[in-house]
Amino acid sequence: MKEFQPSSPRSAPVKSVGLIAWLRDNLFSSIPNAVVTIAFISFLAYYIPLLIDWAFLSANFKGETEAACVNDGACWVFVNAWSYQFFYGTYPPEEVWRINLTIVLLILVIIGSFTLPKSIRLKTSIAAWLLLPVVGIALLDGRLLGLEMVSTDLWGGFSLNVFMATASIVVAFPFSFLWALGRRSDMPFIRSVSVTFIEFFRGVPVLSLFFMGSVMLPLFFAEGTNVDKLIRVWLVLIFFMSGYMAEVFRGGVQAVPKGQYEAADSIGLGYWQKIMLIILPQVIKISMPNILATFVMLFKNTTFLLIIGIPEVVQTLQTALSNSYWLGGHALEGYLFVFLVFWGSCFGMSLLASRIERTMNTDKRD
Amino acid sequence: MFNEKTIEEVKSANRKASSDATSTAFYNNPRIRGLFYQVALVAGLLYFFVTVIGNTLDNMEATGIKTGFAFLDAAAGYDVLMSLISFESTDTYARIFVVGFLNTILVSVIGIFFATLFGFIFGVAYFSHNWLIRKLAVVYVEIFRNIPLLLQVFFWYFAVLSSLPSARQSLSLGEAVFLNVRGLYFPKLVGGDLAWVVWTVLALAIGGVFYLRRWAKKRQEITGEQFPVLKASLALIIFAPLMAAALTGFPFTVDYPALKGFNYFGGVTVIPELMALSIALSVYTGAFIAEAVRAGIQSIPRGQTEAARSLGLRENKIMSLIIVPQAMRVIVPLLNSEYQSLVKNSTLAAAIGYPDLFNVFVGTALNQTGQAIETIFMTIIVYFIVNMVISFLMNRFNSAVSLVSR
């Protein structure tokens, strides 16, 4: 009996698979496309070597002073010489371990709130987050812990940006949740107060809030009280942040299915039990990507503190650029460095946000 | 079988139960609780405001600042870098307020125009057939979205614009447009006696374009024939005023910027502060708008593109006739909030000294008069109003593009 012999499969047409097909599809699909591709590649081929040459090959890495910049490339010596100030401001170098310790604590809390066993995660991490600003301020200031006091005038640099943003969002967190609940409340007065608050702080330029913090708030305190400028700005940032986060939470509260509320009611939970045990955990989970996005916005906005004279990283950079020992015009190197630091942190956080969003999507199995 | 007595018993038991329910402790009644919370909030707020206002009045008395708006009529005594209306240092604070407001509007309009342009170009570029262009769009968005706006403003101002050549070595375009470290200079049309004729014709031509579009749409709905609206409109807008100008003997003189001493004079000058702020605002907001445009286009089902292809439309026609009009429903609300944040972000002018409302009023006027509360609130109210106008216009636009369900 004759056995059926399938003829061997033909290979796919060369024009639809492989590198050449990819090139045809993505770079040379039509004549205008090919022209664009060639122009683009020649542009890159011309400028990238120049850039690499400037940034690495003929750049200056070693040295301490302006005089060390002998090559025509970038003068990274400038960034190097000022790196302490960029990160820590004018904080006394012998006390700098406190800033480092605070940052380590911050990192530990972040890691903890993702990796602790699920049974204790929420309670422990909420408590840790709320304690963090208090511990951080006690450490950095030092008086409470019996360390040498470091006046807030000396705080500065990139670490100040990180601290201001973190401390504000942490304190704003509970407030903003209250505002979000207030906005959805049935009680007309509470609702209108919440709406006014949220819309005011969302509608006003953040710079005018900083000015309020620096020139208007002192008028509000009783005569003779002198509240530190950094604390006033912190207060203002907390208000600003709670306005924005309230809207994030409102979205989250609305996204929790109605059945969850009804189920909580039907097993006889009171309002606060229902909110704290059933709604809040789900809201935090749903809103996580948006909270991160809001945090990125806040973090970028901390640079605006420069305008009211707080020595955060951009202010430090401006000071360094106008330093009389460094008048070689290193604006490009300085800005690139601060760009990279900010871009790295913000881009990292937005990647994290989209990752959380994706992991959240997978457990929606119903 | 029902017993009269049993029914009565049940009824009375029910009545008793329900009266028990209403006689739970009054502090557990949700209505009374709600009332209590609200009264507590009112009392708290009242206490807060009374204390704050009292403290403020005390503090102001102690420093000798008079409350009120009398300072608006006083002479400002300082000059501003740039003004769209005439301004001298003897003018009042009220006039400085107007100058600053106009400068804010100017930079916002420029910023919104270019941010929209960049946003749509790069948002559509996400879907290009060319891999390099797709990646370029991603790189643009991810870089400029994630760097603080203030740094970008400084970068353009201190690193790019300040390294431009001096006036004598200006970069020039056809000896008419000059770019140097002092700013951008381009020629200005100065109208003569009959210039109004040309302007009127131009206005009529613009009105005519709207009429033409309407007529063309109606004709297409009735007959199915298309009319080359874009070409006809361009022709109308360009040739009608040119004809008018030719007939009236070209009543214009061109004022070219010219180098006199160390600087250029004449023509229109764009100061570097305005340039840096507008570039930074448009590039930064453009990245967010590009993201919005991408989200809008991605929200359109693939079937729409495939259906359009099977009808035989060309790729650019598919984008402009099928995809973008539908995507606008998603894009416009996002645009609304981006425009509003652009206006709010324009206050960064204070960082480089562009005389916008915030800079001249909350910056300088506050410093000189000490009227913190008045200046800050006047400024905040202006930003609120501008944002409400934007919101109103965008909501009108939104209802025009939103899906009409039949």
Which chain B residues are closer than 8 Å to A320 by Cβ? none
Of the partner residues B130, B379, B383, the one whose CB lies closest to the CB of residue A36: B130
CA-nearest residue of chain A to B155? A335
pLDDT for B123 equals: 93
Residues B21-26: what's their mean pLDDT?
A: 64
Q: Which residues of B touch A208 (CB under 8 A)?
A: 347, 358, 362, 376, 379-380, 383
What ranges in A148-270 are assigned the alpha helix state H? 157-183, 188-203, 206-211, 217-220, 229-255, 258-266
| pLDDT tops 60 at residue B2 | no
Give yes or no: residues A247 and A142 share one domain: no
Residue with tokens 């004022």: B255
pLDDT at residue number B151: 92
**Mean pLDDT for the stretch of residues A85-113:** 90
Q: Where are the domains of chain B?
A: 93-183+270-401, 188-255
Provide the pLDDT for residue A146.
82
* Contact map slice: B 40-99 vs A, CB within 8 A: 41-42, 45, 51-52, 55-56, 58-60, 62
Q: Tell whether A33 is within 8 A of chain B (Cβ).
A: yes
Q: What is the pLDDT of residues A12-21, one digit of tens each?
A: 776 777 788 8
User: Could you tell me the pTM of the whole model?
Assistant: 0.87
Does residue A80 lie within any of the structural domains?
yes
Residue A309 is classified by DSSP as: T
> Mean pLDDT across the stretch A227-248?
92
User: How many structural domains does chain A have?
Assistant: 2
Please tell me which of the candidates B34, B146, B159 has its beta carbon nearest to residue A332: B159
**Least CA distance to B366: which residue of chain A?**
A215
CB < 8 Å to B58, chain A: 222-223
Which residues, other chains included, contact A273 with Cβ-Cβ below 8 Å and sequence gap of 6+?
A264
Judged by phi (left if over 0) then psi (alpha if -120 to 50, else beta), residue A2 lies in beta
Tell me the mean pLDDT in the region B14-19: 56
Looking at the structure, tell me whether residues A138 and A159 fall in a common domain.
no
Specify the DSSP element, H or E, that contains A36: helix A31-52
* pLDDT over 60 (residue A85): yes
Mutate to test the interface with A, among B150, B291, B375 (most CBs of A within 10 A): B150
Q: Do A220 and B56 lie within an 8 Å CB cutoff?
A: yes
The answer to whether the CB atoms of A203 and B383 lie below 8 A apart is: yes
Task: State the nearest Cα–Cα gap between A278 and chain B, in angstroms.
Answer: 20
3-state DSSP helix/strand/coil percent for chain A, to nearest 5? 75, 0, 25
Give the whole-angstrom CA distance, residue B315 versus residue A212: 52
Reply yes or no on whether the pLDDT at B337 is more than 80. yes
The closest alpha carbon to B287, from B116, B165, B70, B105, belongs to B116
Q: A352 lies in a domain?
A: yes
Contact B59 A219 (CB under 8 A): yes
Establish if A67 belongs to a structural domain: no
Q: What is the pLDDT of residue A102?
A: 92
- Cβ proximity of A304 and A210 under 8 Å: yes
Residue B282: pLDDT over 90: yes
Contacts of B62 in chain A (CB under 8 A): 223
- CA distances for B42 relative to A188, A271, B52, B295, angstroms: 12, 21, 15, 43
How sure is the predictor about B21, in pLDDT bands with cuts at 50, 70 and 90?
low
- Contact between A314 and B387 using a beta-carbon 8 Å cutoff: no
H or E element in which residue A256 lies: none
Nearest-CA distance B244 → chain A (Å): 39
Q: Do B38 and A189 touch (CB under 8 A)?
A: yes
Minimal Cβ distance to B154: which of A27, A314, A350 = A314
Q: Is B255 helix (H, G, I), strand (E, B) or coil?
A: strand
Cβ burial of A74 (10 Å; 0-12, 13-18, 19+) is: buried
DSSP class of residue A2? Answer: P
Measured between CB atoms, which of B37, B55, B383 is closest to A187? B37
Full domain range(s) for residue A190: 76-91+150-361
For chain A, what's the residue count?
366
Chain B residue with minimum CA distance to A342: B147
How far is A155 from A310, CA to CA, in rounded Å?
9
Alpha carbons A51 and A58: distance in angstroms, whole number: 10
Q: Within a domain: residue A236?
A: yes
**CA geometry: angle at B128 spanning B122 and B134, to 5°?**
60
Contact A342 B151 (CB under 8 A): yes
- Substitution target in A36, A204, A240, A333 with the highest count of B β-carbons within 10 Å is A204
- What whole-number distance in Å separates Cα of residue B230 and Cα of residue A268? 66
Q: How many CB pairs under 8 A join A and B?
A: 139
How many Cα atoms sit within 13 Å of B50 on the Cβ side?
6
A345 and A288 in one domain?
Answer: yes
Q: What's the pLDDT band for B20 if we cut at 50, 70, 90?
A: low
Q: Span B268-291, mean pLDDT? A: 93
- State whether A311 and A207 are in the same domain: yes
Q: What is the pLDDT of residues A304-361, one digit of tens each?
A: 999 888 999 999 998 888 888 877 678 888 899 999 999 999 999 989 888 888 876 6
Q: Which two tokens stand for residue A54?
A: 């400037």
Q: Do B351 and A189 touch (CB under 8 A)?
A: no
pLDDT the model gives residue A25: 80
Using the predicted structure, report yes or no on whether residue B64 has a pLDDT greater than 80.
Answer: no
pLDDT digits (tens, 9 = 90+) for B125-154: 998 888 899 999 999 999 999 999 999 999
Instruction: Give the residue-averaged pLDDT of A139-159.
Output: 87
State how far the Cα of B12 lies from the Cα of A212, in Å rounded to an integer.
65
Asked whether the beta carbons of residue A204 and residue B143 sit closer than 8 angstroms, the reply is no
Residues A161 and A254 placed together within one structural domain of the fold: yes
Contact A125, A112 (CB under 8 A): yes
Query: Are residues A237 and A133 both part of a single domain?
Result: no
Q: Does A203 touch chain B (CB under 8 A)?
A: yes
Q: Which of A184, A191, A207 to mutate to test the interface with B (most CBs of B within 10 A)?
A: A207
pLDDT band at B35 (very low <50, low <70, confident <90, very high): confident
Q: Residues A165, A238: one domain?
A: yes
Cβ distance of A30 and B129 shorter than 8 Å: yes
DSSP B168-193: GG-EEETTTEEEETTEEEE-EEEE-T
Interchain pair A204, B384: CB under 8 A: yes
Average pLDDT, chain B: 85
The β-bridge relationship of strands B258-260 and B252-255 is: unpaired
Name the residue among B365, B363, B357 with its Cα closest to residue B71. Answer: B365
What is the token pair recorded at A144?
A: 């409470």
Cβ(A99)–Cβ(A91) under 8 Å?
yes
C-alpha count within 13 angstroms, C-beta hemisphere, residue B168: 2
Where among A114, A134, A149 does a domain terminate?
A: A149
Helix (H) or strand (E) holding B252: strand B252-255
Put the strands of the sheet holding B171-173 in their side by side order: B171-173, B177-180, B183-186, B268-270
- Whether residues A272 and A123 share a domain: the answer is no
pLDDT score recorded for residue A365 = 41
Q: Residue A159 has what pLDDT?
A: 93
Are both A157 and A175 inside the same structural domain? yes
pLDDT band at B65 (very low <50, low <70, confident <90, very high): confident
- H/E stretch holding B282 reads helix B272-298
Restricting to A residues 264-323, those with a Cβ less than 8 Å away from any Cβ of B are 296, 300-301, 303-304, 306-307, 314, 318, 321
H/E run at residue B397:
helix B372-401
Residue in chain A nearest B376 by alpha carbon: A208
Looking at the domain covering B93-183+270-401, what would its CATH class be?
A: mainly alpha
B positions 269-308 inside 8 Å of A (CB): none
What is the rounded average pLDDT of the residues A245-256? 91
Q: Is any Cβ of chain B less than 8 angstroms from the Cβ of A208?
A: yes
Name chain B contacts of A338, Cβ cutoff 8 Å.
151
State the alpha helices, DSSP H only, in A53-92. 76-88
Structure ipTM:
0.88
Q: What is the CATH number of the domain that holds A348?
A: 1.10.3720.10
